[in-house]
Amino acid sequence: MIMNKRIKILGLVGSSRKMGNTEILVKAALKSAAENGAEVELIRLTDFNILPCRGCVSCIRLNTDCRINDDMTIILDKFKECDGLVMGVPIYTYHLPAIYKLIHDRVYMIHKDYRKFIGKKAAIIAVGAMEIENNLVIPMSYLFLRSFLFHPVSCVKITKAMGPGSVLLNKKAMEKAKIAGKKVHNAIQSNLKDNNSIGCSFCNNNFVEIIKNKIRCPFCGRNGELKNNGIVWENGKVINYLSPEFIIDFFGINKWTSTTRAAYKKEILEISERKKEYKDKNLKIRWIQKEDKKEYEEKSVV
C-alpha cells in the first residue's frame, strides 16, 4: 500500500489525432484518477522520435545504454516515475498502432532498472469502429504492458466510434473510461490484483494457439485443453515469460544471453563461410533505393 505519497498515473495516447477518441477516453480516465487524489500526466507518443530497434542486443550483451539516440529514454523515465498507467489504443487495422510496436521492440532498454518497473498497475482503453478489430488488439496490449512489467487491472473495449470525438456521445463508453482510471488508482493504493482473468490462468491473455488437440498460450507458454466448452489449463510447472521471476532471471542473471552468445561463437566461422553465397556481388538481385523514387514519380506523370 502506498502511504504519505501522492499517486502518479501516466496516460499514453497512441493516436496522433488531437482531441480524437483515444485522447478523450484517456483524459476521462485520468480526470477520474485525479478526482481521487492522483497526480496525472499525459503523453502523446507520436510527438516523440522513437526509432526502430536494430536488434544489436548491445544493451543486454554489453550491459550498456541503448546506442540509438532518440526520445525512448524520455518514455522509459516516465514509466519508471509513475505508479500506474492508462494505455490509450486507437484501433486501425486489427493490431496495435505502429508507435506501440516501436516502443515494445525496445523493451530490453529497461534491463538496468528493471526492478523499478515491476508490479505497476495499468488499464487498457482500446477504441475503434468495428467489434471484430478488438480481438487481436487486446491481447497485444496485454503483452505490451506485461513486457514492461505492468500489471493490468482494467480493460475497456469501445466500438462504434465512427468519427473523431464521437465517444463523447456514448455515455457508457465515457463512464467505462472513468471507472478504469479509478480502478488503477485504487489498485495502486491497496496493491490489489486483477482476479478477473480474461483467458490464460497465468497471464490473463485471451489469445491462444491451437496445436493438434492442445491449447497453448503464446505469451507465457502455459498449455491447456478444450473441455466442456472451455479451456482447462494445466497446473504443471511452466516458464512464464512475462513474470517478474523470469524477468529477474533474464535481466539479472542473464543466462539466456550468455548461453546463446557462447553457442554463436562456436558457429561464427561456419556462418561466415555460408554468408558468401548471399553476398550482393554474387547475386542477380537489385536493391530498390530511395533514389528510385524520382524515376517512379516521372513514370506516374506520364
pLDDT confidence of residue 196: 46
Backbone angles phi, psi at 90, to 5 degrees: -80, 140
Cell of 125: 482503453
Range of the domain at 264: 197-277
> What whole-number distance in Å separates Cα of residue 203 and Cα of residue 70?
32
Helices (H), 155-252: 171-190, 244-247
CA 230 to chain centre: 27
Q: Is residue 287 part of a domain?
A: no
Q: Is residue 289 part of a domain?
A: no
Decide if pLDDT at 236 tops 60.
no
**Side-chain-side CA neighbours of residue 288 (13 Å):** 4
Decide if pLDDT at 182 tops 80.
yes
Q: Are residues 91 and 150 in the same domain?
A: yes
| 197 Ramachandran zone, left/alpha/beta (phi>0; psi -120 to 50) | beta
Q: Are residues 93 and 212 in the same domain?
A: no
Q: Which of 81-85, 174-178, 241-245 has the lowest mean pLDDT?
A: 241-245
Read off the CATH number of the domain in which 167 is found. 3.40.50.360
Q: Are residues 74 and 134 in the same domain?
A: yes
Predicted structure pTM score: 0.82
Query: Per-residue pLDDT tens for 128-149?
Result: 988 765 568 888 898 899 889 8
Residue type, 44: R
| 212 Ramachandran zone, left/alpha/beta (phi>0; psi -120 to 50) | left
Q: Are residues 189 and 201 in the same domain?
A: no
Q: Is residue 162 part of a domain?
A: yes
The residue out of 137, 171, 193 marking a domain boundary is: 193
State the helix-helix crossing angle for 21-35 and 171-190, rounded to 10 degrees.
50
The residue out of 193, 222, 251 marking a domain boundary is: 193
> What whole-number distance in Å separates Cα of residue 151 and Cα of residue 17?
27
Residue type, 141: S
Number of domains observed in the structure of the chain: 2
Q: Are residues 93 and 52 in the same domain?
A: yes
Q: Is residue 167 part of a domain?
A: yes
Q: Is residue 105 part of a domain?
A: yes
Q: Are residues 248 and 125 in the same domain?
A: no
pLDDT confidence of residue 39: 97
